Amino acid sequence: MPRNRNTFSSLAAWRRRVLARAVQGGWRWVQRAGSVTAEHPGKLRFRRLGAGTRLAFPQGTVFGEPWIEIGECCIIAEQVTLTAGMLPDLDLGADTVLTLGDGVVLGRGSHVIADAKVTIGSDTYCGPYVYITSTNHSYDDPDEPVGRQWPRSEPVSIGPGCWLGTGAVVLPGARLGRNVVVAAGAVVRGEVPDHSVVAGAPAKVVRSWDREKGWQPPLRTPAPTPIPEHVTPEQLAALAVWEARRAGSSESVPS
């Protein structure tokens, strides 16, 4: 009897492994087939969708595509919401409402809500769950539920080369300059100068770059050493393997 139980347990484990591999392989195929690119846009008809850009599957809410322009080599992760206009199927006129420059990265679960004009400059990276909106609820009338009051809208501009950390919120009317760093969880409104670091809710400048003095206050860690241009991906992979083996051998040596 114990032998039979062992046999059935081994068979059940084998079936689970086979099923897991089939499900995982099928999901990877669905992700590849469901991703949106310029060559395979599916039902989404953006005003512009640049070469090398990919919207991962599953996408979040997407509407107003005729008023959305997305540049080249952008990475739009899973469950990212991109909307132009307050509701689907509105006529928003002749001008583009939402613009993503070349090389923009939007992390998983991020939202870009463009009822008014929203522009995100090239090579701006957003971590997961970043929220960028040109519209906010109003609460002028104390007797009317907030959700029923007409919202306020103002254009949003984010310059090129910025980094927005996980969970950052950019509110209507915000104007971020070039190479701005927004700390995780920060809530940004108003104008942020070039080469600034902002943090907090509401966000305040905590570090800025001066042409003569450099970063003020000074950075607490040295700048990372860049990878030499002549180093190939194969060499980097070989170096990673060598370092892993070295780390393993050093851990096995008794102290």
Annotated active-site residue 137? The verdict is yes
DSSP 93: -
Question: Hunting for tokens 């984010």 — which residue is that?
Answer: 158
User: Which amino acid makes up residue 228?
Assistant: P
**At 221, which amino acid appears?**
T
Specify burial of residue 226 (Cβ count, 10 A radius: 0-12, 13-18, 19+): exposed
Half-sphere exposure of 219 (CA within 13 A, CB side): 10
Select from 39, 30, 55, 44 the least CA-distant residue to 106: 55
Low-confidence winner among 6-15, 87-96, 119-128, 157-166 (lowest mean pLDDT): 6-15
Contact 124, 104 (CB under 8 A): yes
Looking at the predicted structure, is the pLDDT value of residue 187 above 70?
Answer: yes
Domain-by-domain residue ranges, the chain? 35-139+149-211
Task: Provide the mean pLDDT of the chain.
Answer: 90
Bridge pairing between strands 54-55 and 196-199: unpaired
What fold, for 35-139+149-211? UDP N-Acetylglucosamine Acyltransferase; domain 1 (2.160.10)
- What pairing do the DSSP bridges indicate for beta strands 111-114 and 131-133? parallel
The pLDDT value given to residue 181: 98
Q: How many CA atoms lie within 13 A of 4 on its CB side?
A: 1
Contacts of residue 69, defined as CB under 8 A and 6 or more positions apart, other chains included, come to 46, 47, 48, 96, 98, 99, 100
- Give the integer Cα–Cα distance in Å for 210 and 190: 21
pLDDT at 84: 96
Active-site residue (options: 40, 111, 137, 195): 137
pTM for the model stands at 0.83
Please give the average per-residue pLDDT across 78-102, as a whole number.
Answer: 94
> Is residue 167 a contact partner of residue 130, using CB atoms and an 8 Å limit?
yes
- State the alpha helices, DSSP H only, in the chain: 2-34, 233-252
Instruction: Tell me the pLDDT tens digit for each residue of 8-28.
Output: 677 788 888 888 899 888 888
Q: What is the pLDDT of residue 244?
A: 83
Regarding predicted confidence, which is higher, 252 or 58?
Answer: 58
